[in-house]
Amino acid sequence: MVMCSFCGRREAVFIRAYSGEKLCKKCFCTSIENRVRATIAEYDMLKFDDKLLVAVSGGKDSVGLLHVLARIEKNFPKATLLAVSIDEGIKGYRDEALQIAAENCSLLGVEHHVLSFKELFGLQLDEIVQKAEKILSGERLSACAYCGVLRRRALDLAAKQLKADVLALGHNLDDVVQTFLLNVAHGDVDRLARFGAVSVNKGGMFVRRVRPFCLVPERETAFYAYLRGIRFQSVVCPYASDALRNDVRVWLNKLEQRHAGSLFTVFRSFEKIGTMMPWDKKRFNVCRGCGEPCTEGKNTCMVCEFLEKLGVLS
Ligand code: SF4
Ligand code: ZN
Ligand code: ZN
């Protein structure tokens, strides 16, 4: 029997190839919670009296993060923890996720809010996909492209409506490194400077976004949820088909298997690159349609652009 290298008293149930640690159930869970605490401190993610809004999709990462933050919040009586779920309107998928998110919030005593694409933008994602197919043909984008842009906006609006100081997202180490590489692959170099543990928010144009799980590998967020007996949705979204992200994921998994710790190294490298890049408020204009920020040189944001093309705005 392999014993836990932390307490030496219980059987190890998890081996970290990148550090050599062998952990029992209790020490594994504590180590995840401590890593989140250390990440919050390293990046100065939260203040003692912040109103923290957690984006909870119902998947293992966001629900797991909510549980960890609820534990941490107990030590900060002046802080407030809230949760928001975005209902994109994906039939046969999102309903279960919303129910799971609500169940976890009620278990933890966390106030839960739901905002839908339908109420914010006038269309559900299913309707957007159908409309795009019908009226945009060759110009239409993938469901994930619409969903990603609209969900980012929905979360920003939720944070503003609820007067949250910070928005916490459940992205784990694998997600963040994949996104760094995808930004490179898409030539979206600007995003390298503003994406990471904390999304840079110069000029206060966006709600501050933090990723307290950014130093926890996906395998470990999943195992944490399993060990803590957390209920989460494991069904995959019917639109999930980002071929490039899948290729990047497969390549990174292979890299990590052969060279343990590579994900952390890639993460730190991209962080350094990000700090070398210029990033300031000048890169944004204000959208003439909705008043939200849009890219420099444009006067319409991507949300309004999408909605105009889909015939929702004229
Ligand atoms: Fe949205 Fe794509 Fe994620 Fe489905 S897989 S929830 S469509 S971003
Ligand atoms: Zn132990
Ligand atoms: Zn706009």
Q: In this structure, what CATH number is given to the domain that contains residue 247?
A: 3.40.50.620
Same domain? 214 vs 307: no
**How many other C-beta atoms are found inside a 10 Å radius of the C-beta of residue 196?**
23
Q: Measured between alpha carbons, how far is 283 from 296 in angstroms, rounded to an integer?
A: 5
Q: Is residue 6 part of a domain?
A: no
Same domain? 187 vs 205: yes
Confirm or reject: Cβ of 141 under 6 Å from ligand 1. Answer: no
Q: Is residue 254 part of a domain?
A: yes
Nearest to 111 by CA among 102, 124, 98: 102
Q: Are strands 198-199 and 208-210 parallel, antiparallel or unpaired?
A: antiparallel
Q: Are 191 and 181 in contact (CB under 8 A)?
A: no
Nearest to 176 by CA among 157, 158, 161, 198: 198
Tally of domains within the chain: 2
Residues 6+ apart with CB under 8 A from 31: 6, 21, 23
Q: Is residue 20 part of a domain?
A: no
Same domain? 284 vs 216: no
Mutate to test the pocket of ligand 1, among 117, 147, 234 (most ligand atoms within 8 A of CB): 147
Same domain? 266 vs 284: no
Confirm or reject: Cβ of 147 under 6 Å from ligand 1. Answer: yes
Q: Is residue 12 part of a domain?
A: no
Confirm or reject: Cβ of 148 under 6 Å from ligand 1. Answer: yes
DSSP letter, residue 212: T
Q: Measured between alpha carbons, how far is 211 from 52 in angstroms, rounded to an integer?
A: 12
Same domain? 208 vs 298: no
The beta strand positions in the chain, using DSSP E, are 14-15, 22-23, 51-55, 80-87, 111-116, 166-168, 198-199, 208-210, 284-286, 293-295
103, amino acid identity: E
Q: Is residue 14 part of a domain?
A: no
Angle, helices 218-227 vs 25-42, to 10°: value is 130
Same domain? 122 vs 252: yes
Q: Are 294 and 300 in contact (CB under 8 A)?
A: yes
Residue nearest to atom 2 of ligand 1 (CA): 144
310, amino acid identity: L
**How many other C-beta atoms are found inside a 10 Å radius of the C-beta of residue 184?**
15
Q: Is residue 185 part of a domain?
A: yes
The per-residue pLDDT string of the chain (314 residues; one tens digit each, 9 = 90 and over) reads 999 999 999 999 999 999 999 999 999 999 999 999 999 999 999 999 999 999 999 999 999 999 999 999 999 989 999 999 999 999 999 999 999 999 999 999 999 999 999 999 999 999 999 998 888 777 778 899 899 999 999 999 999 999 999 999 999 999 999 999 998 998 887 777 778 889 866 556 778 999 999 999 999 999 999 999 999 998 989 998 777 888 999 999 999 999 999 999 999 999 988 888 766 545 678 899 998 888 777 889 999 999 998 888 76
Collapsed DSSP state (helix, strand, coil) of residue 210: strand
Residue 45: which domain range?
Answer: 32-276
Same domain? 306 vs 204: no
Atom of ligand 1 minimally distant from the CA of 238: 4
Same domain? 272 vs 192: yes
**How many other C-beta atoms are found inside a 10 Å radius of the C-beta of residue 7?**
13
Same domain? 178 vs 311: no
Same domain? 71 vs 147: yes
Q: Are strands 284-286 and 293-295 parallel, antiparallel or unpaired?
A: antiparallel
Q: Measured between alpha carbons, how far is 105 from 90 in angstroms, rounded to an integer?
A: 21
Residue nearest to atom 8 of ligand 1 (CA): 144
Q: Is residue 17 part of a domain?
A: no
Same domain? 50 vs 138: yes
Q: Is residue 174 part of a domain?
A: yes
Same domain? 192 vs 303: no
